[in-house]
Structure 1
Amino acid sequence: MASSRTGTTEWFNVSRRVLREALATGQTQCIYCHTPLNFENRRAPNGAQVDHVIPHSKGGSDHPSNLIVCCRTCNISKGNRAAPKKKTVLASKPLKTSRKW
């Protein structure tokens, strides 16, 4: 019987290490929606889960440099899409234009 990739001992150890590092560095909020993370109950909507920045289905690895901690809701809604890129200041605000010379 085939098991899922995330059901392996290797994934369990890597994800546990990433969650421990997030706690040690003081990460208390989801990086996407800023909801307070619940590290005790990972199945809660705000439960802390390990997410791939570049999805495994798109060639991303299980290396800790490709993993982040986010809430369960954001992890499920993101699916196999890449992490959203941050907008720059110029992209978020239109430039002021004027016809006055």
Structure 2
Amino acid sequence: MFFGQFGLIKLNMEKRVLVLNMDHSPVAVVTVQKAFVLIFLEKASCLTYYESLTIRTVSMSYSYPAVVRLNEYKNIPFRGVLLNRVNLFRRDKGECQYCGSKKNLTIDHVIPKSKGGKTNWTNLITACNRCNVTKGDKTPEQSGMMLRSKPFKPSLAYFLAEYAERQAEEWLPFLTVKAY
């Protein structure tokens, strides 16, 4: 934001920029300001732009970057997706994995802890309170309840592709989605 002739003006810079490593693996999502710094310092190259957006200065107009690739490979230690309530609900699209309801959601162990079930990506699902109580301390097979989809461990690319489908279609060709 800055003060212009007509008062406070908000710059249109809310779109994010996908940063890829030299091998095209996703590294981060940054602001357009950070992307411009990477490009200006020749640490990154722009691979694609947002078609309808430009950034204008007094004397120049720049294309708005959508995806940039680092010019040197950076060894970034693998930091898988954090297993937490928010990410679990995002993976399951905010729906009960038994009936599809979007109300009164909880977390359910597919194989109950009392039967040796672990607290991990492949054993946790989103379930509505009604289905969770109905299933109780049984496996889905024992309770006669079918899962709508098999639980999996999502990758960073999975969540980035989900975001891209809603906010940044320009990213999609650069994201190969794998459910590890």
**Which TM-score applies when normalising by structure 2?**
0.30
Is the 8 Å Cα contact of residues 94 and 126 (structure 2) preserved in structure 1?
no
Question: Quick one: distance in 1 between partners of 2:123 and 2:92?
Answer: 19
Aligned partner of 2:98: which letter?
Y
1:65 aligns with 2:128: no
- 1:76 corresponds to which of 133, 150, 170: 133
**Does residue 30 in structure 1 map to residue 89 in structure 2?**
no
Shift of 1:26: 6.2
Alignment deviations for residues 12-48 of structure 1 (CA, whole Å, 9 cap, x no partner):
xx6xx0x211343461321111112xxxxxxxxx311
Task: Give the drift of 1:51.
Answer: 0.3
Alignment match, 1:56: 113
Deviation at 1:63, TM superposition (A): 2.1
Structure 1's unaligned 5+ residue stretches are 1-13, 37-45, 87-101
Query: In the alignment, residue 48 of structure 1 is paired with which amino acid?
Result: L
Aligned-partner Cα distance in 2 for 1:26–1:64? 11
Q: CA deviation at 1:52?
A: 0.4
Residues 36-47 of structure 1: matches in 2 within 5 Å? Answer: 36=102, 46-47=103-104
Which amino acid is the alignment partner of residue 133 of structure 2? Answer: I
Letter in 1 for 2:126: V
- What percentage of residue pairs aligned between the two structures are identical? 33
The aligned amino acid for 1:21 is: N
Q: How many residues align?
A: 62
TM-score normalised by the chain length of structure 1: 0.50
C-alpha distance after superposition, 1:54-81 (max 9, x if no partner)? 1111111122321111111111110011
